[in-house]
Amino acid sequence: MAGISHYTLDLPKFDSAPRLLIVVAPYYKDIADNLIAGAKATAKEAGAHVDVIEVPGALEIPTAIAMAARMADYDGFVALGCVIRGETTHYDTVCNDSSRGLTLMGLEGICIGNGILTVENYEQAAVRADPADQNKGGGAAAAALHLISLSRKWARRTKGIGFKPAESFRIAGDTDGSNNA
């Protein structure tokens, strides 16, 4: 389905620059480099500060992000890598488990853009990683930035603690509202 365009949201605006950590598995180095280039360009366009770390493989990306979310000071994370189908079921394990790990952290409120490519062949990966073509690295950075924007928006809101003030508080057996036990 190459060549089909899709709608993309405008990048969010920030009062203070967000801090992004790009976690990349550079197993296919040229693919990873293109993903990083796209992510960095998108982050720069939004005014974000970016750090990049490498991990051995796609399965280590969720672990590195979880560690950084606990121990470092980042607003969001960009997961980048590439898994190309091979002859064994290892592909399915890596794709499913890396995605599941990222999704579970996202459901806990960690702002993550998932740019781990899961493709059938190298050519598909090259098109998706290329910043001048599908730019999936840039898309993953944009996703993280949008989640950071939502997180900042909702962090300013207070819901209280779940209690509503009563007009008159009555203790069981109190008929006149005096609250005398």
Given this model, what pLDDT does residue 156 score? 74
Count other C-beta atoms under 10 Å from residue 177's C-beta. Answer: 11
Strands of the 76-84 sheet, one edge to the other: 49-54, 19-24, 76-84, 112-119
SS3 category, 18: coil
> What does the pLDDT read at residue 5?
76
Q: Give the pLDDT confidence score for residue 163 in this predicted structure.
A: 59
DSSP string, 62-74: HHHHHHHHHHS--
- Summarize pLDDT for 124-166 with one digit per residue, the tens: 999 999 999 999 999 999 999 999 999 999 997 766 665 555 5
90 a catalytic residue: yes
SS3 label, residue 2: coil
| 105 in Cβ contact with 112 (< 8 Å) | yes
What is the predicted pLDDT for the residue at 3?
A: 60
Residues 25, 61 contacting (CB under 8 angstroms): yes
Please list the ranges in the chain whose pLDDT falls under 50: 1, 181
Choose the catalytic residue: 6, 49, 90, 146: 90
In degrees to the nearest 10, what's the CA dihedral of 126, 129, 130, 134? 110
